[in-house]
Amino acid sequence: MTTTHIITYDDAVNNRIFSTGLFASRIVVMIPAHNEEDSIADVLKSLSEQSLPKGLELDVYIALDHCTDNTEKSIAVCNEYYQLSIFLLHTINNKQRKVGALNQLYQLFWGNPNDPDHKEIGDQQKAYVNSVVAFVGVDADVFLDKECIRTLWKELSHNHKIGAVSANYTCLMPESARRALRNDPNRERLIRKGKYGNALNRWWVAQQNREFAQWTMKQKYCNHFAEIAGGQCSIFRPEAAKEVRERYKLNGLYDDKSDTEDLLLTQYVRACGWVCLISESARCYVDSMKTLHTYSSQRNKWVSGTTDYMLQDGLKTKYSRRLWIQESGLFLNLLIRLMFVILVGLSLLTDQFYWNWIWITPIIAASLLNLVLTLKTPNSRFLDVLLATLLISPEIYLWITVSIHINVWAAKFRISKQDGWENQYRAETGQTHSHALLYFFLFLLFIVSAAYYVKLNFGMLTSPPIQRALNPYLMQGFVLLTILTIFEFAVMLNQLWKLRGPYKA
């Protein structure tokens, strides 16, 4: 069957979706879609080009969630050419965004526990469900490599203990806006959607690729155990998925109590005794954030979900302990930088500065670490390698990451909670704007004011009474800074040691 069908839950109950009760083994792709008319064609094209395992068929289920654009029309038009087996479901009363849309899709396979009439899916639909050998969760704005599903299935079926396998993610670099034809009526829309961009947009994508690469290789070094079976593209064993639903009494497969639903699902799968892995080579090209504003909105949502999990689980699980260590490491980096700036600044102002060559060791280690990491990152340009080796890009990216984490932790103390999905969507569609330029201007004003104050009072700051008063604090501060520097150097050497292997992102 290669056509597009619009279906409902009642169709699954009353056996109206299929005309036969005999089904070959198949892989089912689940896609949530909210106003994706500009990107849905790419994911359908990549699905039509998949090299499927022999004897398996492919069905595509798409949840149309409150779409106000031409997403449905785009799917129908594309499928006239691609001839996929597509089933469209319009979500009903969904207030849980992506989680709710996916859960309504999974209810077609397992039933709706919230149905007031307690109607089960029909016998024909149950026979269809029994033919499903794997579910593949895919976002509506990704592009799968031709061998992606075949590789994921091969790795999933390798061992029955494996419950989920996540693909490797890479962000596509936007082309130069100068390449967009001036007379193309779609030019502005393509630029707005990220198809084209400027040098700064490409820099943002390069940093996200490097972060994905670091995250991927860290998991591969740890026996390919996946921290998160990402929602962009992951394959699930039906038995594992159904066990999670039943054990945690979910409406479908996902739990809506976290902004990072895929993190929570991965921990549920692991808690049920299944293994979650990251693929050796299956690749998925994902959408990226092209500006500071959209990046901050997305990462605020991700970090918020992660911190919710950390606060909920404390130190009970191995993964939560790892997250606490990572969070501590991030703020340790902040502490070292603040101490360095304050101590060096005060010692220079009071004419008591002495250089210690041990402080340069973490700089050299960080430069080597970022060089190796960037070289192992797919699609890296020479400019990316150069900026990473000089520590320009990593340092800027670190400060932005720290500011996001501080903002998220501060939000945990607020009474009113924000909708991470809504904030990200509004940022991506240009409904909100960043205040980064204002903050940068205020910071610049502060630096100029401080420099002017120092110029006026330099004689007083270098007087013996001031020097004697500050000297003990400076000495103790530099001792502590040296200890932290040695520790950070050891941490980076360990990271370099792990990157030496043949692991690829």
279 and 381 housed in the same domain: no
User: Residue 152 falls within a domain, yes or no?
Assistant: yes
Q: Specify whether the CB–CB gap between 88 and 6 falls below 8 A.
A: yes
User: Residue 383 falls within a domain, yes or no?
Assistant: yes
Pick left, alpha or beta for residue 62 (phi over 0 → left; psi -120 to 50 → alpha; otherwise beta): beta
| CA distances from residue 395 to 333, 387, 407, 425, 494 in whole angstroms, order as listed | 10, 10, 19, 28, 20
Paired strand residues for 33: 64
457 and 374 housed in the same domain: yes
133 and 19 housed in the same domain: yes
Q: Which of 268, 288, 308 is the last residue of a domain?
A: 288
272 and 409 housed in the same domain: no
Domain that holds residue 425: 321-498
User: Residue 195 falls within a domain, yes or no?
Assistant: no
User: Residue 309 falls within a domain, yes or no?
Assistant: no
Whole-model pTM: value is: 0.88
User: Residue 454 falls within a domain, yes or no?
Assistant: yes
User: Residue 438 falls within a domain, yes or no?
Assistant: yes
Domains in the chain, number: 2
Q: Which residues of the chain have pLDDT under 50?
A: 427
What's the confidence (pLDDT) of residue 417? 65
For residue 74, give the CATH number of its domain: 3.90.550.10
Query: Which position has the token pair 């009439």?
Result: 117
75 and 124 housed in the same domain: yes
Which of 246, 290, 300 lies closest to 269 in space, CA to CA? 246
User: Residue 184 falls within a domain, yes or no?
Assistant: no
389 and 443 housed in the same domain: yes
Contacts 24+ apart (CB under 8 A), 416-424: 420/259, 420/297, 420/300, 420/301, 420/304, 420/305, 421/97, 421/98, 421/259, 421/301, 423/297, 423/300, 423/301, 424/294, 424/297, 424/298, 424/300, 424/301
How far is residue 167's CA from residue 146's CA, in Å, rounded to a whole number? Answer: 13
User: Residue 346 falls within a domain, yes or no?
Assistant: yes
What's the confidence (pLDDT) of residue 197? 82
Contacts of 278 (CB under 8 A, 6+ apart): 165, 166, 168, 216, 219, 220, 224, 225, 226
Q: Specify whether the CB–CB gap between 145 and 283 falls below 8 A.
A: yes
494 and 350 housed in the same domain: yes
335 and 267 housed in the same domain: no
Which of 228, 255, 260, 229 lies closest to 244 in space, CA to CA? 255
249 and 111 housed in the same domain: yes
On the 0-12 / 13-18 / 19+ scale of CB atoms within 10 A, 135 is buried
340 and 428 housed in the same domain: yes
What's the confidence (pLDDT) of residue 13? 92
Q: Which of 272, 288, 304 is the last residue of a domain?
A: 288
What's the confidence (pLDDT) of residue 418? 64
What's the confidence (pLDDT) of residue 419? 59
274 and 342 housed in the same domain: no
471 and 346 housed in the same domain: yes
